[in-house]
Amino acid sequence: PKYSKNTPACCSSRYGLAFLSCYGFFVAYALRVNLSVAMVDMLKNRSSVNNSSSVCPHHSIPVPKHNHTASVYDWDSETQGWILGSFFYGYILTQIPGGYLARKYGAKWLFGIGILCTVIFTLLTPVATDLGAGYLIAVRVLEGIGEGVSYPAMHAMWASWAPPLERSRLLTISYTGAQLGTVVALPLSGQICFYLDWTYVFYIFGAVGLLWFVLWAYFVSNSPSLHKRISADEKTYIMASLKNEVDYIPWTSILKSLPLWAIVVAHFSYNWTFYTLLTLLPTYMNDILGFSIQQNGMLSALPYLGCWLLALLGGQLADLLREKYLIRTVIVRKAFTIVGMVGPAVFLVAAGYTGCNFVLAIAFLTLSSSLGGVSASGFNINHLDIAPSYAGILLGITNSFATIPGMVGPVIARSLTKSNTIPEWQIVFYISAAINIFGAVFFTIFGKGTLQPWAVQRIHIQ
């Protein structure tokens, strides 16, 4: 149905949801990555003894930090790897339950309370850290459990809110909150560590999260039919474009579906690079390239800024190609996946060979991550093409597998970079690149862009 003329995007409830969920993901990711920067500041400063701790020369005379009263800790590189990876051990537990619960009880409160839990545990982080590394790991696992429902819940929510032809646009606005949170949290955490101390990183972002929860609770509804302030036109338009609700879940067909496994492999591969960089980029900037904590957050954020921009532009372009030029969905998804996975692999390997040429190193790392944003309109929303009614559950399945790299990636990378030399990091980059390319090839061979037979209602009106 073409009601879109009477239901402009501006000020509509579906775009309101897109922006509020964007803010939600912003909070979720800000709380996830702030530890990566704070970590640089939480460790006993081995470099202050002799300023040659980084492989490359420092870029500035280290500025004395302001009032530093927060404690510092002496954790070895393996403990650091476990602390940074611990979040994902909780995160993986709630992926599939998240998709299921969202269908059963509605996505609004699941998403809201999930992120609220993460906020509460973030506020407790400084206390836990003082009790010991084990407590910090436990708090991060609990944060992960809370945040684990966010993607499946949101995917389930979009299944009842996003008209098919607006999917790439609405979903990229919603999910790019993640990159935005990373982009803001990395430099801001660096500044907060510098001017205050690392404990404030957790307090300030926690407060921002509480504000989000209040807005979310007040303005959002599970579906257009339950929304209090939606216009009648928009309600009709959305409901008419989504006439295939489903009640039972065909688990066996889902698990036997090759197009779904194509998404799983792509998602796993993409996240290997994404999570390894997300957790270790500040460490790399500090230990290899020799940037101080202030510069570090700024520069670590650049790749995600690029990623965010290209994801947004990609979403617009993907829908344009499907709507205006009538290019088949499957071709759009595969093309965007190839660009968004092979591109990053090439530049990541290149970054390992820049030596101490930090301008090139940062340029390549930024290009690598930015191109990754293109895949947001590739495999990343393919769940909604093959089985819109089960999107939340499918995302739970693919995201479960895709969380494993977050659990093992940083740990493997830290164990490969014990002496922090450039050749060691080259190996880390090579592994990521190889996994990325494999994922792109697999998705290109086995991915599909059409509704799968098991996802069609007997009374299906398209």
Query: Does residue 424 contact residue 257 with C-beta atoms inside 8 Å?
Result: no
Residue 266: band (very low, low, confident or very high) from pLDDT cuts 50, 70, 90: very high
Confidence of residue 53 (pLDDT cuts 50, 70, 90): low
Could you give the percent of the chain with pLDDT greater than 90? 57
Higher pLDDT, 258 or 291: 258
pLDDT band at residue 46 using 50, 70 and 90 as cut-offs: low
Q: How far apart are CA 349 and CA 82, in angstroms?
A: 25
Q: How high does pLDDT run on average in the chain?
A: 89
Ranges of each domain in the chain: 13-60+72-455
Pick the range with the lowest mean pLDDT from 48-52, 73-77, 366-370: 48-52
C-alpha 252 chain-centroid distance: 28
Place of tokens 């003082």: 130
What burial class does residue 459 get, using C-beta atoms within 10 Å of its C-beta: 0-12 exposed, 13-18 middle, 19+ buried?
A: exposed
The predicted structure's pLDDT at residue 57:
85
| pTM for the model | 0.82
Q: Which of 349, 379, 389, 391 is nearest to 367 (CA)?
A: 349
Please report the DSSP string for 140-197 in residue order.
Answer: HHHHHHHHTTHHHHHHHHHHTT--GGGHHHHHHHHHTHHHHHHHHHHHHHHHHHHHS-
**pLDDT above 80 (res 93):** yes
State how far the alpha carbon of 300 is from the alpha carbons of 182, 247, 286, in Å: 9, 45, 10
Amino acid at 413: A
Model pLDDT, residue 245: 54
Burial-class residue 377 by CB neighbours within 10 Å (0-12, 13-18, 19+): buried
> What integer is the mean pLDDT of 335-363?
94
Give yes or no for residue 228 having a pLDDT over 90. no
Residue 73's DSSP bridge partners are 43
Rounded to an integer, the average pLDDT of 443-451 is 95
Burial 401-417 (b: 16+ CB within 10 A, else e): bbbebbbbbbbbbbeeb
Instruction: Say if residues 410 and 280 touch (Cβ distance below 8 Å).
Output: yes
- What pLDDT score was predicted for residue 50? 39
Local structure of 73: helix, strand or coil? strand
pLDDT at 66 over 80: no
Instruction: Output Rg (C-alpha) for the chain, integer angstroms.
Output: 22
Segment 342-358 mean pLDDT: 93
Q: How confident is the model at residue 65 (pLDDT cuts 50, 70, 90)?
A: low
Give the pLDDT confidence score for residue 457 in this predicted structure.
Answer: 64
97-149 pLDDT tens trace? 998 899 888 899 999 999 999 999 999 999 999 999 999 999 999 999 999 99
User: 91 or 239, which is more confident?
Assistant: 91
- Which among 189, 230, 196, 31 is positioned nearest to 116, based on CA atoms? 31
Task: Look up residue 26 and give its two tokens.
Answer: 């912003």
DSSP class per residue in 216-274? HHHH--SSGGG-SS--HHHHHHHHHHT-----S--HHHHHH-HHHHHHHHHHHHHHHHH
Amino acid letter, residue 145 = I
| Domain 13-60+72-455 CATH assignment equals 1.10.3720.10 | no
Name the least confident of 38-42, 86-90, 454-458: 454-458
Q: Tell me, what's the pLDDT at 67? A: 52
**Contact between 286 and 420 (Cβ < 8 Å):** no
